[in-house]
A and B are shown apart, each in its own frame.
Chain A
């Protein structure tokens, strides 16, 4: 059970850091709402509801990117990642703790973004909410690992979108599909498969991203 304790410790540390610094969450909230407003003006009057659903996913993916770019900022500014790597805990706990923290931030943003979308564009069905939840799991698990890779590179956040977007394409397909298709369950099952497959891969390979 000590593994889960470590994950809890690390996740709480990130939540406390965010509450104290308060720089990532407000930025993501403002970003997603302003993006939706921009989309409103970008969508021609006659555009049908399906296009709007698609735009919701574009807004979510790029908001997530903003959050992921800041995911390892505390560790990078203080070099504390080395302190965590030196600790006797399993290094995948570092990844899982950070993923949970990023998921909490993303969920907090979506709690605002989805109602705003419903108000601006059109009703948000249960399938969309389920799709957003499942896709967010994939975004956070894979995104956190990719952000750790980006943190090790000289170009820092610049490379994160290049690493993240190809891997996010299946999530967008699953999410949009769940929102608009006649049988959403097929797409939701696909999102679940994505989450499981990539979570296992991240869990097994994170150690090699942060240590030699």
Chain B
């Protein structure tokens, strides 16, 4: 699913990611660990295609429409409601039965009551859960989660745990975190960045 050879990223003199090799089979659950500044976020953004490698090669077996990316930003419009945000992405990702699917996701992540409130009025935890809905909306083959637990409230974290457990049906997950113990039982591969 993901294969990288001496993949490296630099911004001029600054090195964002030291050369790394990857060989990830479809369906595996990869946990990326490493200190701050070791390049976890850069690696995930490279896999998502948001940034281009400076050196080395990278092949990702998922088209743009088949991968879901959750970063530090929720990537939702503050002035639109939760439903309007998900409807916008649903159209762009051509999600079949858009309305039903986004309703189900909002329900599952406990945002149904606040569905018609502006995303700007959401708390940090609710915003992260809305971002999770956006990431899972098009049922992605490859799920890229950049430290998903950091901004989540306790309830959200439990919901995410249950969600990750259910996701193992042939889907590939690559997730970076500071607390690997939490996802240790699910992990099938580990990448430690120096």
Contact = CB atoms under 8 A, between A and B. Distances in A.
Interface of A: 2, 5-6, 9, 13, 16-17, 20-21, 74, 77-80, 82-89, 211-212
Given A87-B64, A88-B65, A9 B77 contact: no
Given A17-B77, A78-B78, 7 more contacts: A17-B80, A21-B79, A78-B74, A78-B76, A82-B50, A86-B49, A89-B92
Contacts, number: 69
A52 B99 CA distance: 53
Nearest to B67: A86
Contacts of A211: 50
Contact of B79 (A2, A17, A83): A17
B149 interface: no
Nearest to A12: B88
A167 B149 CA distance: 47
Nearest to B53: A212
B71 interface: yes
A86 B44 CA distance: 13
Contacts of A9: 88, 91-92
B29 interface: no
B17 interface: no
B109 interface: no
Given A85-B50, A86-B64, A212-B50, A74 B79 contact: yes
A62 to B, nearest CB: 26
Nearest to B81: A20
B94 A2 contact: yes
A20 B63 contact: no
B120 to A, nearest CB: 9
